[in-house]
Amino acid sequence: MAVEPPTIPQRYALVDTKGIPKEIVISITASGNDLLRYTFRQWISAKPPLKLAVDTLQILPEGGYLTFSREELIRQIKNTNEVFNEQFGSSNESRIALFPDYVSFSYSPLVEKRIGVFFGGQVDLGEQGNRVLVSLTLIPDEVTAFGRKTLIDSLMTHQGLISTERTPLMINNERVSSYRVALIAPNGIRLSPDSVTVTTEVAPLKYNSFVTNNIMVRNLEEGYSIRLFPSSIKISYLALDNVSPSDIAAQIHPYVDVNEITEGSNKLKIKLQNAPDELHMIQLEPDAVEFIIEKE
């Protein structure tokens, strides 16, 4: 007879289930007529598995160990299998033997812990360019984890957060979108809820450019002057539509460094100091200038 693990109250978890066999062998010694009738009826009847029933009054708050004796197993087998019970339930002439003749397991109480959630996947904006992910939020950003204390403690020590599934989100809309994403529950831990809503906002990027001749020179010795060719450069960038071009122009300060002059070269690389975070692409044309240094 197949055996299914017992169902215990939700606030507890099975710990050691090695003592629960996958099946119990039932040996019956009875008259030939009884065995024949039982065998025939079993052929045409369903064979339900033994679903071990736990008396909740035996469950201890702190957890413990439960054992089903031979007598208790026979009682539950009779309650589970109607044909078996009708044929041998009240017979004093039949003898029933079981292997194994007892079933045991341990259980422990579950604890709960509020744990933060993070997005563990990737956002795929597709092949369309000049778009950017503006925001990504998770609702809720915390879930309740139920599990044995040792498992919860290990989770907090080694991971500390719960991750969403790592399947990429394909986003083709330049607007706010919501997706339901499952969470990855560590082994032995139940999450409530088991999924979160991921809300994303995608916006288009706008192309802008301006020309500046305000190129600073660093580390030029006193008594010398420098001329740059060309003396002005074009700065192009991508930014959100709400970014002010005048503010960006005021924050960008290109410069060249005389200390970077190398023998045989007549060009200096143009660099930027503190490029604004609002920019998602920045390009200088040209990105290097020729120079002449003269003594005053």
Q: How high is the pLDDT of residue 277?
A: 87
Amino acid at 261: I
Contact 124, 170 (CB under 8 A): yes
Q: What are phi and psi of 180, to 5 degrees?
A: -95, 125
pLDDT digits (tens, 9 = 90+) for 195-254: 999 999 998 899 999 999 999 999 999 999 999 999 999 999 999 988 999 999 999 999
pLDDT confidence tier of residue 291, bands split at 50, 70 and 90: very high
- What pLDDT score was predicted for residue 174? 75
Lowest mean pLDDT among 39-48, 162-171, 283-292: 39-48
How many CA atoms within 13 Å lie on the side-chain side of 178?
Answer: 7
- pLDDT of res. 66: 92
Tokens 């906002």: give the residue.
Answer: 201
Compare 26 and 10 and report the one with higher pLDDT: 26
- 59-63, 86-90, 163-167, 239-243: range with lowest mean pLDDT: 86-90
Residue 91: pLDDT band (50, 70, 90) is: low
Q: Tell me how far CA of residue 223 lies from CA of 198, 226, 242, 260, 296, in angstroms.
A: 62, 10, 45, 19, 5
pLDDT in tens, 179-198: 999 999 998 898 999 999 99
Which residue is listed with tokens 């956002």? Answer: 123
Choose among 135, 141, 138: nearest CA to 200: 135
Q: Is the peptide bond before 109 cis (omega within 30 degrees of 0)?
A: no
Q: What is the mean pLDDT of the chain?
A: 89
User: What is the percent of the chain where pLDDT is above 90?
Assistant: 52
Model pLDDT, residue 12: 87
What single DSSP character describes residue 23? Answer: B
The residue among 169, 175, 167 whose CA lies nearest residue 131 is 175
pTM: 0.58
Across 75-99, average pLDDT: 84
